[in-house]
Amino acid sequence: MFFRQRLAKEATLSYLLGCGTCAVGVAIDPVAGDEDWFIDEAARQNVKITHVFDTHVHADHYSGGRALAAKTGAQYCLHESNQGRVKFPFHALSDGESIEVGNVEVKVMHTPGHPPDSMCLTVTDKRRSSDPWFVLTGDTLFVGSIGRPDLAGKGKEWAEQLFDSLHAKLMSLPESVEVFPGHTSGSVCGAGISGKPSSTIGFESVSTPASRSPIKLNLSAISCPIFRRVRPRWIIWLP
């Protein structure tokens, strides 16, 4: 398995990964203008890009996903909730769907909240283990923070979705699973995002307190981790 992380515009983190043995790879959240970097890096790895994923329809930058897919002949993929919402063709992915990339398995985890179409991608190197090695969390979970749920004026509704996505989906992963987010520090998509480009589910579950994250729970112990296992009646975006 090979894995590349790229720091792009707007503090965005993009990814290229795949199976060198089977000469196939996938791109995740490429930024417009970076298409040639992905093509050149795939050539260095001697792989063909078969799928291009956007973890959601981005509002803070222009995606290079469709352009990269067109240049490489790859499938351009979004979550199926975008059907009827966007005016361009894409391959619709459903929650729990798996994409085989040679000896690597990429599995879709629908995690609405930042917007409703957000998804995370767990990645398993099947030559090493049947368990996921890491998760690409898009704008759902950052290092030290979480994605903003207040976009499009639907803060209350989307915050409830985000809370459920964090608890019911991401927190169900083993603590050892590595976290690779869609942004690093400097992004407008979350408050207080760390400059560290990766973490683990276990570390984030105990080390990202609500008092330093973009949510405020109506709980007496506001300094508890964002993953506190109590469902709030409301969640408010902190400026």
Quick: pLDDT tens for 13-24.
999 999 999 999
Q: What is the DSSP string of 19-86?
A: ETTTTEEEEESPBTT-HHHHHHHHHHHT-EEEEEE-SS--SSS-B-HHHHHHHHTPEEEEEGGGTTTS
23 vs 217: CA distance, rounded Å: 47
Residue 32 CB coordination number (10 Å): 16
Cross-strand pairs, 109:
120
> Would you identify the CATH topology of the domain 2-236?
Metallo-beta-lactamase; Chain A (3.60.15)
Task: Give the closest residue to 152 by CA, choosing from 30, 237, 47.
Answer: 237
Q: How far is CA 28 from the centre of its chain?
A: 9
Tell whether the model's pLDDT for residue 58 goes beyond 80: no
- Position 190 confidence tier, pLDDT thresholds 50, 70, 90: confident
pTM of the model: 0.85
User: What's the average model confidence in pLDDT over 49-55?
Assistant: 97
Residue 6 CB coordination number (10 Å): 18
Enter the tokens of residue 165: 């996505």
What pairing do the DSSP bridges indicate for beta strands 134-138 and 178-181? Answer: parallel
Quick: pLDDT tens for 108-151.
999 998 788 899 999 999 999 999 999 999 999 999 888 877 66
- More confident: 27 or 185: 27
Domain boundaries along the sequence of the chain:
2-236
3-state helix vs strand vs coil in the chain, percent to 5: 25, 30, 45
Cross-strand pairs, 25:
18, 49
Q: How confident is the prediction for the chain on average, in pLDDT?
A: 85
Task: Give the closest residue to 74 by CA, choosing from 53, 49, 40.
Answer: 49
- Report the sign of the C-alpha dihedral through residues 205, 209, 213, 217, in that order: positive
Residue 43 CB coordination number (10 Å): 11
